[in-house]
């Protein structure tokens, strides 16, 4: 399985509702962190929840657009592709689609799996990276890797989980792991979402594999 790597500097900052997510995973409002919402007044629990819901809905929709862009590539199931989803001000955007390695190219380079190096978007500035979408191709792997490759790669000192755990903990370009998502387009052509806050979910320990392709399952919406 490959690894999506985001490279390059960033100056800091980030959107206010994601600052909230990094401060508290319990949705306890801290009004000193945020501007007024809903026309004024102190933000409430429901304000934060609704903002998070709308943001997640937008991020999922962009992930589906990136999936379509990947599948439009003639070699999409032989070569890794990826893109970042990020927020600048109050706008959530997707970065350009970047091509990565094939399995054969990775092996020739002495790597355990293909890599996709994703530069920060040109307009990231003080924005923050919310999610990364990338594919795990089918061609080049043995059939017994198909199930494993539907998940982020999990190796002790490399791979998707290792890379993004480190990025969200130490890199100011990234939202904290409580709010960061990986989307993996598996070799079966299905897009799945994995939230870092849930830990290292793999084929070996996933207790609810059918839900991974339901991108709305983690959306904290209310009527």
If phi > 0 it is left, if psi is from -120 to 50 it is alpha, else beta; for residue 122 that is alpha
The b/e string for 102-140 (b: 16+ C-beta within 10 A; e otherwise) is: bbeebeeeeeebbbbebebbeebeebbbbbbbbbbbbeb
Choose among 151, 94, 146: nearest CA to 120.
94
Predicted local confidence at residue 135, as pLDDT: 95
Contact 85, 58 (CB under 8 A): no
Question: Where are any strands of DSSP class E within the chain?
Answer: 3-6, 79-88, 91-94, 98-102, 115-118, 128-135, 181-185, 191-195
pLDDT value, residue 2: 44
User: Each residue of 177-189: pLDDT tens digit?
Assistant: 778 999 999 999 9
Look at residue 9 in the predicted model and tell me its pLDDT: 34
Q: Look at residue 10 in the predicted model and tell me its pLDDT.
A: 31
Beta pairing, strands 91-94 & 3-6: unpaired
| 68-78 pLDDT tens trace | 999 999 999 99
Q: Tell me the pLDDT tens digit for each residue of 23-56.
A: 444 444 434 334 444 455 566 666 667 777 788 8
The residue ranking higher by pLDDT, 18 or 152, is 152
User: Which sign, positive or negative, has the C-alpha torsion 65, 71, 75, 81?
Assistant: positive
CA 16 to chain centre: 19
């Amino acid at each position: 399985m490959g690894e999506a790597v985001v490279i390059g500097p960033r100056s800091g900052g980030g959107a206010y509702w994601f600052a909230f997510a990094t401060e508290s995973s319990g949705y306890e409002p801290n009004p000193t962190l945020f501007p007024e919402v809903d026309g004024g007044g102190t933000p409430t629990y429901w304000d934060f929840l609704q903002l998070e819901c709308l943001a997640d809905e937008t991020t999922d929709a962009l992930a589906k657009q990136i999936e379509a862009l990947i599948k439009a590539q003639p070699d999409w199931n032989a070569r890794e592709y990826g893109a970042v989803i990020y927020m600048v001000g109050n706008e959530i955007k997707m970065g350009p689609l970047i091509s990565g390695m094939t399995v054969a190219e990775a092996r020739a380079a002495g790597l355990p799996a293909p890599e996709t190096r994703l530069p920060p978007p040109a307009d990231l500035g003080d924005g923050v990276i919310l999610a990364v979408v990338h594919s795990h191709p089918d061609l080049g792997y043995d059939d017994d890797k198909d199930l494993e490759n539907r998940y982020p790669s999990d190796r002790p000192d490399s791979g998707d989980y290792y890379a993004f755990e480190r990025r969200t903990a130490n890199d100011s370009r990234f939202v904290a792991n409580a709010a960061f998502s990986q989307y993996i387009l598996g070799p079966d052509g299905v897009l799945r979402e994995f939230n870092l806050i849930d830990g290292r979910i793999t084929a070996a320990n996933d207790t609810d594999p059918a839900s991974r392709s339901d991108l709305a399952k983690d959306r904290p919406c209310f009527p």
